[in-house]
Structure 1
Amino acid sequence: MQKTRLDTARIRAARQVIDPVFLDTPLYRCEALEPVLGCAVSIKLETANPVRSFKGRGTEVVASLLAGQGGSAVVCASAGNLGQALAWSGRGRGLDVTVVASRFATAAKLERVRALGARLELVDGDHEAARERAAAIARYDGIRLVEDSLDIETCEGAATIGLELVDAAPSFDAVLIALGGGALATGVGHVVKARAPHAEVICVQPLGAPAMTHSWRRRRVVTTDSADTIADGVAGRYPIPAVLDDLLLVADDAVLVRESSIVAGMRILLDHAGLVVEPSAALGVAAVLEDRDRFAGRHVVTIVCGGNVDPDAYRRWVTATPVRESHESHGFRESHGFRECHGFRES
């Protein structure tokens, strides 16, 4: 395999600085899901920690290195999960943390960022506007900017999930990974391709936020004019070239799923696995629902990457009447309040 930016020795070293509360997360065969999905399913559960997502693995590495270098302040842009994780990791190391987010981000995530002691700045617009503002703060104040997926620490922190996965479940046929900025996919993918090359690395993204998937398919950066999906944790519009280069080396496939399938995946994980998950964490199940024949009779692992949800929105999603859509449909029912992401550009 060609070399990615990641290094296996550094990934192993990352385990030594990550708080154990984020490590060795549950991995188990969930037999209750198998009659529903038509394949053997194992869950790697990344929600049972203080920030309820996998992001703490990467921010622990970032904060440890920054504190060791004498740094005192850090800023990031976040849809909510990275901000919580950086706030938690920074608080434990005496760092002043600023999180920039869209004012339209999930309220529960933003409240938790504040509760963890970070300074929260809200901007109009989407996550890309928050990224621009965070970069401006870093330049003006002369502090460390944490850029999820671009900063190798975030990828190698996430890659520790891959180490745990291949050590505990060497016989799986495919791993389904939520695809947003790419830290989780490139991190886990790097380890799986090095240690379990027989297994497929399949990345999953919403139809309403397809930039990285289009980029992977075309092997060049493709940006989109907008993103419209309930899976806010993966709703980026501007793929990072270096991250795409890594993804091209480790991903066997990248697929897009409909909003209705994401909601169905959340409902299935609640009803059959007892798990409350955010939309991004249901992408793997959504992929199986949309292509049952592909996975029939196989053993797949899905990484349940986050559980931070707005309670009211979650109740609406999991109690709503399922909407049937054709596999050819690239749009969303008006009753859901979603639109397809129109237009994309290559760069």
Structure 2
Amino acid sequence: MPVTRLDTAWIRAARRAIDPVFLDTPLYRCEALEPRLGCAVSIKLETANPVRSFKARGTEWLTSRLAGSASRAVVCASAGNIGQALAWSGRRRGLDVTVVASRSATRVKLDRIRALGAVLELVDGDHERARERAAALALRDGIRLVEDSLDLETCEGAATVGLELVEAAEAFDTVLIALGGGALATGVGHVVKELTPGVEVICVQPLGAPAMTLSWRQRRVVTTDTADTIADGVAGRCPVPAVLDDLLLVADDAVLVREESIVAGMRLLLDHAGLVVEPSAALGIAAVLEDRDRFAGRHVVTVVCGSNVDPDAYHRWVGPAPFGHRP
């Protein structure tokens, strides 16, 4: 296997350091989805934990390694999920956590960051402006800047999802991974390609926020001027070069999906799996909906990566229909 920044031995070490509440999340065959998608579907449910996303796997590993250092303060930029995770892990280890986010970020995510004890600073503009402000605060105050996906610990923590996938009893031939900054995709992709190289790793991104997918396709960093998608958790515009280098080595494909397919995926997960998820978590289902012929006859695993969604927005997108009553 080509050499990425990741090392499976370090990923196994991360699993030993992460609070067990974030490990061994449910992985199960969801037969109710299969007639609608035309393939066997298993769900890796990364929402069944205190921060309702996979992100705390990375922040647990990162903060465990900071616990003995002289610096007791960290800052990060967040669309919401990494901020919650860092706040949770930092509080557990006595760290002072500052999170910078856009004023337009999902309200429920911002409220939860505050509730977990972090200092929250809001900025005008999008997530890239928040990244710039977080970097400026770290430089000004001499504190540790946590950069999701660039900091290797965030990728190694996310990669523990991959260990759990490849150790599962039932074999699969495709894994569909939401693609934003790249921690989940590069982490899971690394483990899958090293331990089960025949499994196809497909990354999925919204058509309205395509920067990392375009970069993967062109094998160079491609930035975009805007990111316009309901999937705020993956709405970056400026890929990190080192993360792209890793992604190029582990991803077999990167696809873009339409907003209406993301919403349709959320509806399917509600009606046929009983799951309320944020848009980023429905990207894998959206990819199958847009290309059923490609996945016909396969056994796909999709990582349901988060469920931090504003209730009002969710009902606008998906509607309040009871389970099992949508065509």
Deviation at 1:62, TM superposition (A): 1.0
TM-score normalised per structure 1: 0.92
1:44-73 CA distances to partner (integer Å, 9 max, x unpaired)? 000010000000000001111111223300
Determine the C-alpha separation between the residues in 2 that align with 1:106 and 1:158: 22
Does 1:84 find its partner at 2:74?
A: no
SS in 2 for 1:99: strand
Determine the C-alpha separation between the residues in 2 that align with 1:237 and 1:36: 33
Deviation at 1:10, TM superposition (A): 0.4
Determine the C-alpha separation between the residues in 1 that align with 2:272 and 2:141: 49
For structure 2, list consecutive stretches of 5 or more residues without a partner in the other structure: 322-327
Amino acid at match of 2:151: D
Does 1:32 find its partner at 2:38?
A: no
1:278-331 CA distances to partner (integer Å, 9 max, x unpaired)? 00000000000000000001000000000000000001111299xxxxxxxxxx
Does 1:42 find its partner at 2:14?
A: no
Determine the C-alpha separation between the residues in 2 that align with 1:215 and 1:75: 27
Structure 1 counterpart of 2:216: 216
1:172-210 CA distances to partner (integer Å, 9 max, x unpaired)? 110000000000000000000001111100000000000
Determine the C-alpha separation between the residues in 2 that align with 1:180 and 1:23: 22
Contact 1:170 1:196 in 2 (8 A): no
Change (3 A) 1:247 1:257: same
Number of equivalences:
321
Structure 2 counterpart of 1:226: 226
Determine the C-alpha separation between the residues in 1 that align with 2:169 and 2:262: 25
Deviation at 1:171, TM superposition (A): 1.6
Amino acid at match of 2:249: L
Determine the C-alpha separation between the residues in 1 that align with 2:80 and 2:14: 23
Does 1:65 find its partner at 2:50?
A: no
Give the superposed CA RMSD: 1.0
Deviation at 1:4, TM superposition (A): 0.2
Structure 2 counterpart of 1:101: 101
Amino acid at match of 1:247: L
Structure 1 counterpart of 2:4: 4
SS in 1 for 2:202: strand
Amino acid at match of 2:319: T
SS in 2 for 1:68: coil
Determine the C-alpha separation between the residues in 2 that align with 1:307 and 1:196: 28
TM-score normalised per structure 2: 0.97
Change (3 A) 1:320 1:275: closer
Identity, in percent, stands at 84
Does 1:204 find its partner at 2:204?
A: yes
* Equivalent residues in 2 for 1:104-143, closer than 5 Å: 104-143=104-143
